[in-house]
Amino acid sequence: MALTQVVTYRGFAARLVELGMVTAGRAAEELAAAADWRDPDAELPIDERPAALVELGAAVGVHTEDVGLDGPDLVDAYADILTAAAACSGGTVVVEDIAFTEQEDEDASGDWLLTFTRNGQPMSWTIDDHDEYLDTLSIFESINDLRPPGDVQRRFHRLSTSPGADQVYVLASDAQLAVITGELGLSLLA
């Protein structure tokens, strides 16, 4: 379906509420917060829509720039991804006990282990050592570990974003994704 109408930030948020991807309260909070720097009734450019999904809590942003050299910034960035992905579930996913440790195994030289609990269940992701950059491949391969348990309808999908922009993963069912990619004009990364 081709995009045939102007999409405003207010209209974008309202459509996500209609789809059940965002609560009305969250949409109202974000619209109020954005009013200082964005006209909510002006057109929301297509290249800003993935970030708007993140702002509204329907998606997770994965920073692709430098986040710090193996220090707290890197650990915090992974923790932010885990907690943001959990928040997309509307409370059905709880992430706790996040830890980031270098693997001791000589076959895993340079690899780190990101461990956490998801709803009390231990989970781990192997992270390649990228010094000050996030391991976006590991995130891509593992993000669906954070989809709501027992929910066979919704999963994380990576959206196409502008070159150099953060990666964005939206938690959506096929029906919700059809609206996002059709009516709202976004596309999936091929």
Chunked into runs of 10 residues, the chain (190 residues) has average pLDDT values of 70 96 95 90 94 96 77 80 95 93 68 92 88 88 94 94 91 96 90
Question: Model pTM?
Answer: 0.90
Burial label for 64, CB within 10 Å (0-12, 13-18, 19+), is middle
| Helices marked H in 19-151 | 24-34, 49-55, 72-87, 136-142
184 phi and psi angles, rounded to 5 deg? -90, -5
DSSP secondary-structure letter at 171? E
DSSP secondary-structure letter at 150? T
Question: How many residues are listed for the chain in this entry?
Answer: 190
